[in-house]
């Protein structure tokens, strides 16, 4: 089940973090709530998709290797306009898995951002999110 973490000093923005590595989500939650975001963490791809489709988030952090359905499939469903007409959230891929160039550029085209988790610290993630919204 998803878990919601509120911020002590909210800025009124909601982040959905689809991530199955608990330690990573813990780090991201810490940095994000500190920066004023309310963060919902979901470990499962299918449930993550359902939450995303409720369109209550401003930012979706999407890991590609998650259970039930992969992040790539979640992304595809979210970008399908008949299924998800106007999603207002920005979708940021956060992954450590490298794709083949063609697959990667295809993902990049559909997403609003693509980050390699090993190359950024949680605080750098916060900095990045502040630049896209």
Partner 1 sequence: MNHIQKYIAQFQNRIALLLMLNSIFIIGGYWLIADLVRPNLFFSNQAIATSIILVFIAFLSIILLSWVGSKTLSKPMQQVWQAVLHISPDTANTPSPDLTKLGFGRELVTTLITHVYQLASIVDNVEKLAASKTHDLKSDFVANSLPLPMVVLNKDTDILFANEAMLKYLGREEADTVGQNVYLLLDMLFTNEHTFDNWLEKARADKVTSIRTWERVRLNLPEKKETRYFDLVAYYNKNNPDGFEIMMVLFDRTRQYSQDDQAMSFVALAVHELRTPLTLLRGYIDVFEEELEGKLDTEMTGFMHKMKAAAQQLSAFTTNVLNVARYENDQLVLKLHEEAWTPLLKGAVKDMELRARVRGIKLTLNIDNDLPAIGADAVSVHEVVNNLLDNAIKYSSEGKEIIIRSYKTQDGSVETTIQDFGRGIPETAMGNLFDKFYRDYHNRTQVGGTGMGLFLSKAIVTAHGGNIWVRSKEGQGSTFGFTLMPYSELADELKKGDNADITRTAHGWIKNHSMYRR
The rounded distance, in Å, linking the Cα atoms of 49 and 51 is 5
Q: Which stretch binds partner 1 (CB under 8 A): 2-10, 50-58, 75-83, 111-119?
A: 111-119
Which of 15, 51 has the CB closer to partner 1? 15
Q: Which residues contact 7 (CB under 8 A, 6 or more apart)?
A: 32, 33, 34, 35, 36, 37, 38, 39
Q: How far is the CB of 51 from partner 1 (least distance, A)?
A: 23
Which of 12, 100 has the CB closer to partner 1? 100
Figure out which of the listed residues 54, 82, 85, 101 binds partner 1, where binding follows CB under 8 A: 101
Which of 56, 105 has the CB closer to partner 1? 105
Q: Which residues contact 93 (CB under 8 A, 6 or more apart)?
A: 62, 63, 64, 71, 75, 107, 108, 111, 113, 114, 115
Q: What is the DSSP letter of 3?
A: E
| 86 near partner 1 (CB under 8 A) | no
| 118 near partner 1 (CB under 8 A) | yes
Determine contact, residues 43/73, Cβ cutoff 8 Å: no
Figure out which of the listed residues 45, 48, 71, 122 binds partner 1, where binding follows CB under 8 A: 122
**Six-digit token pair at 98?**
């490298």
Residue 38, H or E segment: strand 37-42
Figure out which of the listed residues 68, 105, 130, 133 binds partner 1, where binding follows CB under 8 A: 105
Which residues make up the interface to partner 1 (CB under 8 A)?
21, 23-24, 27, 30-31, 65, 96-102, 104-105, 112-125, 127-128
């Amino acid at each position: 089940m998803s878990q919601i973490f509120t911020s002590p000093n909210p800025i009124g923005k909601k982040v959905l973090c689809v991530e199955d590595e608990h330690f990573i989500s813990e780090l991201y939650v810490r940095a994000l709530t500190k920066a004023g975001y309310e963060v919902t963490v979901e470990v499962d791809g299918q449930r993550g998709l359902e939450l995303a489709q409720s369109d209550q988030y401003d930012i979706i952090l999407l890991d590609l290797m998650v259970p039930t359905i992969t992040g790539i499939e979640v992304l595809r469903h979210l970008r399908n306009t008949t299924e998800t007409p106007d999603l207002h959230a920005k979708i940021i891929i956060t992954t450590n898995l490298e794709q083949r160039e063609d697959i990667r550029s295809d993902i990049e085209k559909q997403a609003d951002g693509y980050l390699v988790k090993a190359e950024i610290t949680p605080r750098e993630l916060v900095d990045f999110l502040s630049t896209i919204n």
